[in-house]
């Protein structure tokens, strides 16, 4: 089985152009016989960098309101043309795709953006949409809270695959839910910053005895429109922010491919599913090393809505 992570920069807040870039990367992956391709967090249509770099923290800030409005308008709907185009490419090129999107809510939630990781099967199309359970720190100025609906694994070739966004990879029960759903390969989607990806990638691999494909993005002043309210923050961002760090880890915690810092491209590896069974002889966290008689865990996988109309 061949897997890959796309380390790239969005065409920021340009959903049509970013979708074309996604399709181009799927074409590259298909040319290298890749079975599964993972993209960074919120790749389509871009990560809200400004809230993490000190912008928009003041209540009622008009510049943040303008930035949020632009971000909302660039968000994509799950049944919109962008996701359909990506699903068509996945189908035609026979690649299973995990893609981070900034998802615009529908109906009563149309004014909200969710950080969503979608799973696209080449034959079945969109099979999963996991909304980030808890936006991290100042991300809460931009993203709504998700729910458990997307805490599911999907069959990709010989393996069951699940995924999480950025710091929710540190949430023990979110990982536990995926392990218990049979996860054997874990996709971790990040906006960038290699310093943060090295430890978590190996930790998840060792804890779950799973392969980890971590896709981490790139953001620079060259990728952000100059008329965006907080453009200057990308010019002044500290060293190490949004510089990639994509990597692939084996179930015993060893590197298949170490974190790549800077530069766009695909990191591709052939993995051996048999290594999962070998790693689980000493630890299977939701199997022979679980204690359901002591610990009880319930996961609500219903999609949460503000209301339900009865006519």
* Positions marked catalytic: 41, 132, 166
Own/partner pairs, 257-265, CB within 8 angstroms, 24+ separation:
259/194, 259/197, 259/198, 259/201, 259/214, 259/216, 260/7, 260/194, 261/194, 262/218, 263/7, 264/7, 264/8, 264/9, 264/218, 265/7, 265/8
Taking the C-alpha atoms of residue 40 and residue 188, their distance in angstroms, rounded to an integer, is 8
Q: What are phi and psi of 297, to 5 degrees?
A: -125, 130
Q: What are phi and psi of 115, to 5 degrees?
A: -85, 105
Taking the C-alpha atoms of residue 214 and residue 70, their distance in angstroms, rounded to an integer, is 28
CA 88 to the chain's CA centroid = 20
- Are 96 and 122 spatial neighbours (Cβ–Cβ below 8 Å)? yes
Residue 37 burial (CB count, 10 A): 30
Q: What are phi and psi of 70, to 5 degrees?
A: -65, -40
- How many helices and strands, by DSSP H and E, does the chain display? 8, 12
| CA–CA–CA angle 275, 280, 283 (5° rounding) | 150
| Structure tokens, 115 | 């950080």
């Amino acid at each position: 089985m061949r897997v890959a992570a796309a380390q790239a920069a969005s065409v920021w807040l340009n959903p049509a152009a970013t979708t074309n870039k996604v399709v181009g990367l799927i074409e590259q992956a298909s040319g290298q016989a890749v079975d599964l391709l993972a993209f960074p967090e919120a790749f389509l249509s871009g990560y809200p960098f400004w809230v993490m770099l000190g912008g928009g923290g003041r209540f009622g800030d008009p510049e943040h309101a303008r930035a949020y409005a632009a971000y909302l308008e660039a968000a994509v709907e799950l049944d919109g043309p962008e996701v359909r185009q990506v699903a068509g490419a996945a189908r035609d090129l026979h690649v299973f795709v995990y893609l981070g999107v900034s998802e615009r809510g529908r109906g009563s939630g149309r004014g909200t953006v969710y950080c969503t990781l979608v799973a696209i099967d080449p034959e079945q199309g969109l099979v999963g949409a996991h909304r980030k359970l808890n936006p991290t720190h100042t991300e809460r100025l931009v993203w709504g809270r998700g729910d458990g609906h997307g805490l599911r694994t999907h069959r990709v070739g010989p393996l069951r695959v699940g995924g999480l966004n950025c710091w929710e990879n540190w949430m023990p029960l979110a990982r536990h839910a995926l392990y218990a759903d049979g996860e054997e390969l874990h996709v971790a989607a990040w906006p960038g910053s290699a310093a943060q990806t090295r430890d978590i990638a190996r930790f998840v691999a060792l804890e779950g005895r799973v392969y980890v494909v971590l896709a981490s993005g790139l953001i620079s002043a060259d990728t952000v429109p100059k008329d965006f309210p907080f453009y200057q923050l990308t010019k002044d961002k500290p060293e190490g922010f949004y510089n990639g760090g994509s990597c692939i880890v084996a179930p015993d915690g060893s590197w298949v491919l170490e974190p790549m810092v800077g530069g766009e491209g695909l990191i591709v590896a052939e993995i051996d599913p048999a290594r999962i069974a070998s790693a689980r002889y000493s630890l299977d966290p939701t199997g022979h090393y679980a204690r359901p008689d002591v610990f009880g865990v319930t996961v609500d996988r219903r999609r949460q809505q503000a209301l339900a109309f009865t006519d």
